[in-house]
Each structure stands twice: as structure tokens, then as C-alpha cells.
Structure 1
Amino acid sequence: MKIKVLGPGCKNCINLEKNTRAALAELGMEADVEKVTDYGEIAGYGVMKTPGLVIDEEVVLSGKVASAAEVADLLRAATK
């Protein structure tokens, strides 16, 4: 599984990455987590409000910081 956290490195982006890593740990899942800070690449995903979360090249979240529990739900849905 490949996960990308999209954003320029702001506090919200950092918190989303932290919550994503916490959700992975809670679920006992392993994934490559990458931070994407390039505005062109972020826009390429169609994300205009950061932070954004991409799981296996599918945008699953944009414009808000999801809690670890919300990210865990997104991860479970992505593995079905």
C-alpha cells in the first residue's frame, strides 16, 4: 500500500501524517507513507485544498485533518 500526504508542510499536513501513521500502527498495517509538497504534483491529483490523503493513487480526503480513527476507516475501505 502506498499513501501520500499532500500539502506544503503546514501544521495540518503534519497532523494528518501523524494521524495516518497512528492509524496504520493501530491496524497493524504496513505502508509506504510519502509527503508530497510540490504544488504541481498536488494539483495533479485535483486537490485544491490541503491537506490531502491519497491511498494507492486514489484521493480519499481533501481539505481537512482526519482523526486517526477516520484514517483507519479510510484504510479499511481501501483494502476491501
Structure 2
Amino acid sequence: MRNYAILRLLLAGFLLYFAWPVIPYANTTVEMVFWGGWLGFLFLVVGANFATFLQMTKPPIMEQQESERRKSHNY
């Protein structure tokens, strides 16, 4: 699960790398609202993936059951 979080963080950084130079050229209100929403969504994605990477939340039930099975088979 941590590998996927790292990949998603890298993808978000890659998209930000290409978007950042274009943001200052937003002139109209619609463009500013779009970039504000885009940056807000990026913030949510990065925050959620950091929480997953740092294991701040419990994994889904399916993964909890899988890890319990692994522990029981390792004696």
C-alpha cells in the first residue's frame, strides 16, 4: 500500500511541476477559480497520500484480515 502512496505523490508532484508555471497567467475570474480548485484538490490528494504513507489511518477491513492471516501462519 505504501508503494501506491509514493507513486501517487510522485504523480501529483509531476502534475504540479507542469501546472505551476501556468498559474500566474490566469487573468479571468474563471481561470482563477479553476486553479484555486485544482490546487485545493491537489492539497487533498497529497494530504491523503501522506496519511496513507505514514499509516495514520487504519487499513481497509480486507487488508486487516489479510495481515491477521499472515500473522497466524507465521507461528
Same topology, TM > 0.5: no
Greater helix fraction, Structure 1 or Structure 2: 2
TM normalised by structure 1 equals 0.28
Greater strand fraction, Structure 1 or Structure 2: 1
Structure having greater relative contact order (Cα 8 Å, sep ≥ 6): 2
State which structure, 1 or 2, has the greater radius of gyration over its C-alpha atoms: 2
TM normalised by structure 2 equals 0.29
